[in-house]
Amino acid sequence: MPKRIEMPGFIKPQLASLRTKAPQGEQWLHEIKYDGYRMQVHLNRGRKKVFTRNGLDWSKRFTEIAGALAISGEAIIDGEVVVVHEGRTNFSELQAELAAGRQGRLVYYAFDLLWRNGDLRKLQQIERKQMLLDLFGKNDIELPVLYSEHLIGDGQRMFEHAAKLNWEGIICKRADAPYRSERNENWLKIKAVQKGKFPIVGFVKDPSGVAALYLGRQEGKDLVYVGKVGTGWSRTVSSQVRKQLDTVVSPKSKLTRPIRKPKAIWVEPKFFADVEYRDVTSEGLLRASSFKGLSRKDQF
């Protein structure tokens, strides 16, 4: 009788490489890119564990999701925990729910099956997904767990549709590829971004330019703080931005509710930063922001 292979512990996840355009061809599966926390669920003959992408055991935070996976035997499922808000997954809403210790709005989108009473990682992506779908069907798995659907074919069209709906983007996966615990070209991520113009309310200087810009947003009569941006410029652009901002230095912050920033040099909000960002956190701050340009208030 062959020796039974022991179910492994946490498996380091496969990660996607960033691309600007979706690949074409029938060999690619295209899924929605969920804006949440990557989670790996281990089901071991009644015992259940939930791991973060770094291998931390967060089982106590996700008891309702684990409880919905009433599956006998052994299975390791890869997926993403999200909160759906206003029609799309919202990272800041997820943060708020977890901070409050609530689970009622959490949804687990399962997109891969790594183990089912044996190792499945050498199988093709399309086979693993079909086995996952069959497993959920046979066990009547329902909310808060969902199978992550995919499309085959025109990935760019799906991406453009995702961007219009303000989704984070899409993930494209080679249908014939095995699962590898690394970042590689078999999984590609194509991200949509949000863009905006934000008045610059202050900056942190470095020897030749700026190290960071503090940004605001006009809300009625109030000028509120929305975070900082510290990437996206060359040394030359940084120097040019500094020269412009030096002309509008203010002795104090122009924010309606001042914030404590010991390194800040405050300015009159005469210049706007063109910024790309991923989302807005539950505190109202821009997430994953990048500087794209500078304009004066009287230029638009």
Query: In the numeric block, which tokens belong to residue 276?
Result: 């790309």
Q: Which residue has the tokens 């190792």?
A: 119
Cα dist from 174 to 119, 127, 148, 161, 270, whole Å: 19, 11, 16, 21, 49
Cα 229 to Cα 273: distance, rounded to the nearest angstrom: 9
Q: Which residue has the tokens 């791991």?
A: 51
3-class SS of residue 162: helix
Query: In the numeric block, which tokens belong to residue 207?
Result: 């020897």
Cα 61 to Cα 179: distance, rounded to the nearest angstrom: 27
Q: Is residue 81 a contact partner of residue 36, using CB atoms and an 8 Å limit?
A: yes
List the catalytic residue out of 33, 129, 191, 261.
33
Closest CA to 227 of 205, 200, 207, 246: 200
Nearest 5°: the CA angle 125, 127, 128 is: 65
3-class SS of residue 159: helix
* Radius of gyration (C-alpha) of the chain in whole angstroms: 23
Q: Is 48 a catalytic residue?
A: no
Q: Which residues are catalytic?
A: 33
